[in-house]
């Protein structure tokens, strides 16, 4: 897959006419890690200027949004209004009597307006988990709703006591050591020292602004899977890697983590979709 | 979206002689041919082979592709804008699929 990615990077560079010489040179010889990281960052920068393949999902999502009667769904700004919805979530919803983030709210609306049972919703959410090149409607709906808030800044109301309570719970989950390997989120995503998994530099909660940069690009398109990854899928993958017990999408655990992350990210501009390896 | 559809993006207006970027994302799985080491089962490849860029029905550039390119490829090609008109991309894959996509550009 590294070869394919590098080929795409080389390909993009050559087409655009930038750095053609380095690109050809890179193909011929074995790369040092620093050189590889630089090439990947160059590739990410160039694709950020162009069209993100995640926009394909936004077009599918626009149709699926109407198909599942989600134009009746209230994201906190009125029924069917999606512009700026992501910026003010998670929040407390009196009709559901709980704090909800974007994906939990979509799941609740699917039960209310599309006539799905909780089991069907779970199956609908997980239809693309563990696959590649899958064009799921759930990912598409999340992508469509998130992209409508592009350019706005996160503004989670942490003065609301219900949201504040969830924020504190999320903070405890973030620093709770669990599972057979005694991992917590902060094992990788905290501290001043730079942590890497292969060539990917991980964000840290202790370095200012990095939590915002990390969550403001979700759902993001992953080149290695050729499909987007939503926030709850990201939690699930992280918890699988930490050997935590099985993750339930749209659970209160996920909402608490979302409240902590989006609350920390307050003031960051939303740039959906992002891109990753 | 089905296989073969594309998002094609060109700047709406350009100065005469300016080099613009014709950007596109083509929806395609781009699977390489593969033989399973355990079962010996062979999967044939499915990928784009050719991409042509036309400006007012005149061939500007042509690109050959193979299985080494990522799924849903993002491609950017430079084009010197001399006159207003239609920009067309035509692409085909190894199973006989042929598609076209057009966009318009105004040159001042």
Q: Judge whether B71 is closer than 8 Å to chain A, CB to CB.
A: yes
pLDDT band at A27; cut points 50, 70, 90: low
Beta-carbon separation of A4 and B69 below 8 A:
yes
CA distance A219 to A247: 18
Q: Judge whether B27 is closer than 8 Å to chain A, CB to CB.
A: yes
CA distance A112 to A79: 13
Predicted pLDDT of residue B4: 85
Q: Is A238 a catalytic residue?
A: yes
Predicted pLDDT of residue A174: 94
Is B52 or A21 the better-scoring residue by pLDDT? B52
Predicted pLDDT of residue A240: 93
Q: Judge whether B73 is closer than 8 Å to chain A, CB to CB.
A: yes
Whole-complex ipTM: 0.84
Average per-residue pLDDT for chain A: 86
Best of A16, A40, A221 to disrupt the B interface (most B CBs within 10 Å) is: A16
Best of A51, A128, A273 to disrupt the B interface (most B CBs within 10 Å) is: A51
Q: What is the CATH number of domain A55-276?
A: 1.10.760.10
pLDDT band at A9; cut points 50, 70, 90: very low
Beta-carbon separation of A15 and B77 below 8 A:
yes
Angle of the A33-49 helix axis to the A2-16 helix axis, nearest 10: 60
CA distance A192 to A187: 12
**In chain A, which residue's Cα lies nearest the Cα of B20?**
A16
Predicted pLDDT of residue A29: 67
**In chain B, which residue's Cα lies nearest the Cα of A13?**
B76
Domain ranges of chain A: 2-49, 55-276
Q: pLDDT for A56-106, tens place per residue? A: 999 999 999 999 999 999 998 989 899 999 999 899 999 999 999 999 999
Q: pLDDT for B46-60, tens place per residue? A: 999 999 999 999 999
Please state which of the four CATH numbers 3.10.450.50, 2.60.40.10, 2.60.40.150, 3.90.650.10 is assigned to the domain occupying B6-32+44-107: 2.60.40.10
Q: pLDDT for A111-137, tens place per residue? A: 999 999 999 999 999 999 998 888 899
DSSP for B35-99 reads: E-TTT--EE--B-EEEEEEEETTEEEEEEE--TTSPSS-EEEEEEE--S-EEEEEEEEETTS-EE
Predicted pLDDT of residue A21: 45
Least confident of A8-12, A41-45, A104-108, B59-63: A8-12
Q: pLDDT for A126-177, tens place per residue? A: 999 998 888 899 999 999 999 999 999 999 999 999 999 999 999 999 999 9
Q: Judge whether B21 is closer than 8 Å to chain A, CB to CB.
A: yes
Share of chain A above pLDDT 90, in %: 61
Interface of A with B (CB under 8 A): 3-5, 7-8, 11-12, 15-17, 47, 50-53, 55-56, 59-60, 132-133, 135, 223, 226
pLDDT band at A229; cut points 50, 70, 90: very high
Domain ranges of chain B: 6-32+44-107
Q: Which residues of B touch A55 (CB under 8 A)?
A: 7, 25
**What residues of chain B score a pLDDT lower than 50?**
none
């Amino acid at each position: 897959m590294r070869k394919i990615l590098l080929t795409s990077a080389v390909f993009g560079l050559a087409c655009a006419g930038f750095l053609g010489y380095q690109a050809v040179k890179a193909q011929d010889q074995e790369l040092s890690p620093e050189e590889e990281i630089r090439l990947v960052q160059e590739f990410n920068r160039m694709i950020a200027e162009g069209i993100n393949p995640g926009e394909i999902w936004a077009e599918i999502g626009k149709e699926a949004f109407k198909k599942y009667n989600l134009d009746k769904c209230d994201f906190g700004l009125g029924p069917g209004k999606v512009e700026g919805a992501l910026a003010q979530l998670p929040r407390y919803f009196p009709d559901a009597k709980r704090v909800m983030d974007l994906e939990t709210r979509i799941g609740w609306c699917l039960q209310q307006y599309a006539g799905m049972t909780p089991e069907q919703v779970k199956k609908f959410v997980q239809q693309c988990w563990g696959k590649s090149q899958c064009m799921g409607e759930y990912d598409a709906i999340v992508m469509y709703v998130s992209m409508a808030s592009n350019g706005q800044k996160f503004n989670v109301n942490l003065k609301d006591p219900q949201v504040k309570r969830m924020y504190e719970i999320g903070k405890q989950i973030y620093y709770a050591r669990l599972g057979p390997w005694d991992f917590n989120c902060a094992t990788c995503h905290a501290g001043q020292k730079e942590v890497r998994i292969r060539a990917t530099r991980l964000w840290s909660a202790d370095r200012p602004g990095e939590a915002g940069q990390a969550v403001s690009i979700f759902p993001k398109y992953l080149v290695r899977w050729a499909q987007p990854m939503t926030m709850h899928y990201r939690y699930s993958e992280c918890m699988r890697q930490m050997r935590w017990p099985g993750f339930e999408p749209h659970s209160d655990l996920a909402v608490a983590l979302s409240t902590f992350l989006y609350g920390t990210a307050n003031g960051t501009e939303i740039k959906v979709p992002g891109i990753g390896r | 979206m089905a296989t073969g559809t594309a998002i094609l993006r060109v700047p709406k207006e350009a100065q005469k002689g300016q080099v613009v970027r014709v950007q596109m994302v083509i929806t395609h799985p781009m699977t390489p041919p593969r033989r399973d080491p355990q079962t010996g089962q062979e999967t044939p490849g499915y990928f784009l082979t050719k991409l042509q860029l036309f400006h007012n029905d005149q061939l500007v550039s042509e690109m050959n592709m193979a299985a080494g390119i990522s799924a849903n490829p993002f491609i950017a090609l430079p084009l010197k804008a001399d006159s207003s008109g239609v920009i067309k991309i035509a692409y085909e894959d190894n199973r006989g699929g042929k598609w076209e996509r057009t966009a318009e550009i105004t040159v001042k």
